[in-house]
């Protein structure tokens, strides 16, 4: 039996992970959960999986959850300290890092330092601090198992993780809901429209990132660190059907691809059961029922966030952390209707220009940069 903790259990990836665990049965034991403020959903999860410890975002949420659970055996903690306790001392062998955004960095690093195997869905950890995160994993002799469908696909196409014969890896992107909308109409896009992804059901932040194609830019940086390839060897292509999840092109011209229905339960389960595979409840891919698979280049003028990510990756140092913080602020402002959809890349551009790249050595320095950028943007 494998014991695991889930950071971000009430979000999209977290709830899918628990669905997978419920179907896998006694092969897994959930020992710890961490969530934000969705106490009602967390209560349901605690009653079903009986973890030893759970963490919530605030003291008020902790009081509410304790009241709901009554005199049960589950310990309830809260705040950053509680989150780190779940990541490090939750009694798990495997930690699923599924907290959205930069908030996932600290517990991800803490879990790795504690020797926990990592199933990583929090791409921002590698975007902000890829060199530090991968160094800690190497020091502890731990493998980071990718949960994102694109990186899971690459992982599956690279037996043994050897990239010496790889010419490039190609991440696929659906193009989001505005793939064919004229760029001059972007100023009128509403949050409701941007949240209607054509193929995937995801959290709000990642759904907006998919609409701007920033998500694909962040995934380029993530792939660079996960697979040890220069950023210039990581490419992306638009694939509206989301059936081919990513491809690997080798030096001899051969291309391997991983295909499947667009359902996050498949890459989640592969990360949990690796190196083995188990049956899933996901529908099988019916090749004879596909009308066709199409591919097209990324329209970089329509989606400038994609190139902003490459720019930050090439600059290195603190720039990816600046990119990530500015993007999170811009997405939040758009969802609050404080800026237009077309202004998201403008906010990020201004932040990158105002915060030139500098060397970073510790997680604390990166978190300082994150706070600095957020405060700078809030003043504007």
The DSSP code for 296 is: B
What values do phi and psi take at 117, rounded to 5?
Answer: -65, 140
Per-residue pLDDT tens over the stretch 26-47: 889 999 999 999 999 999 999 9
Please check whether residue 11 is in contact with residue 145, taking contact to mean a CB–CB distance below 8 angstroms.
no
Give me the count of residues in the chain: 380
As a whole number of angstroms, the longest Cα–Cα distance in the chain is 63
**Residue 285, pLDDT score:** 95
Q: What is the CATH number of domain 160-261+284-378?
A: 1.10.1740.10
Query: Does domain 2-146 bear CATH number 3.40.50.720?
Result: yes
What's the start-to-end Cα distance of the chain, in Å?
Answer: 52
Per-residue pLDDT tens over the stretch 36-85: 999 999 999 999 999 999 999 999 999 999 999 998 889 999 999 999 99
Residue with tokens 């908030």: 103
**Residue 20, pLDDT score:** 97
Q: Cis before residue 275, ω within 30 degrees of 0?
A: yes
| Encoded tokens for 92 | 């798990």
- Domain positions in the chain are 2-146, 160-261+284-378
In 10 A of CB 65, how many CB atoms? 21
- Crossing angle, helix 39-49 and helix 12-24, to 10 degrees? 20
Residue with tokens 């193009």: 175
Distance CA(169)–CA(233), nearest Å, equals 6
Instruction: Characterise 115 by phi-psi region: left (phi > 0), alpha (psi -120 to 50), beta (else).
Output: left
Q: How confident is the model at residue 108 (pLDDT cuts 50, 70, 90)?
A: very high
In 10 A of CB 33, how many CB atoms? 28
Helix and strand tally (H, E) in the chain? 15, 11
Nearest to 202 by CA among 35, 370, 8: 8
Distance CA(118)–CA(96), nearest Å, equals 6
Reduce the DSSP state of residue 171 to 3 states and report it: strand
Per-residue pLDDT tens over the stretch 86-101: 999 878 999 999 998 8
pTM of the model: 0.94
Reduce the DSSP state of residue 68 to 3 states and report it: helix
Per-residue pLDDT tens over the stretch 222-269: 999 999 999 999 999 999 999 999 999 999 999 999 999 999 999 999
**Residue 71, pLDDT score:** 82
């Amino acid at each position: 039996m494998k014991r695991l903790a889930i950071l971000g259990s009430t979000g999209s990836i977290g709830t899918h992970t628990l669905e997978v665990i419920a179907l896998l049965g006694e092969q897994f034991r959930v020992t710890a959960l961490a969530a934000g403020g969705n106490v009602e959903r967390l209560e349901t999860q605690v009653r079903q999986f009986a973890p030893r410890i759970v963490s919530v975002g605030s003291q008020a949420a902790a009081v509410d959850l304790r009241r709901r659970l009554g005199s049960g055996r589950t310990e309830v903690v809260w705040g950053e300290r509680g989150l780190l306790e779940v990541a490090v001392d939750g009694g798990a062998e495997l930690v699923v890092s599924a907290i959205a955004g930069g908030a996932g960095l600290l517990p991800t690093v803490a879990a790795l330092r504690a020797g926990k195997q990592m199933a990583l869905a929090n791409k921002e950890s590698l975007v902000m601090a890829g060199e530090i995160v991968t160094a800690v994993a190497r020091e502890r002799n731990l493998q980071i198992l990718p949960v994102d469908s694109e990186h899971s696909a690459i992982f599956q196409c690279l037996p043994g993780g050897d990239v010496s014969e790889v010419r490039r890896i190609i991440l696929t992107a659906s193009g989001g809901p505005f793939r064919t909308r004229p760029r001059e109409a972007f100023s009128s896009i509403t949050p409701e429209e941007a949240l209607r992804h054509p193929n995937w059901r995801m959290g709000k932040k990642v759904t907006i990132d998919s609409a701007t194609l920033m998500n694909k830019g962040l995934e380029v940086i993530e792939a660079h660190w996960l697979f040890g390839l220069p950023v210039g060897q990581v490419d992306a292509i638009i694939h509206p059907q989301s059936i081919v999840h990513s491809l690997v092109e080798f030096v001899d011209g051969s291309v391997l691809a991983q295909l499947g229905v667009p359902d996050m339960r498949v890459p989640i389960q592969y990360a949990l059961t690796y190196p083995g595979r188990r049956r899933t409840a996901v529908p099988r891919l019916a090749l004879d029922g596909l009308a066709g698979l199409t591919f097209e280049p990324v329209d970089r003028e329509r989606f400038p966030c994609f190139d902003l990510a490459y720019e930050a990756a090439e600059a290195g140092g603190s720039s990816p952390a600046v990119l990530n913080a500015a993007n999170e602020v811009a997405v939040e402002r758009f969802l609050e209707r404080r800026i237009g959809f077309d202004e998201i890349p403008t906010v990020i551009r201004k932040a990158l220009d105002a915060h030139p790249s500098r060397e970073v050595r510790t997680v604390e320095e990166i978190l300082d940069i994150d706070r600095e950028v957020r405060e700078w943007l809030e003043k504007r």
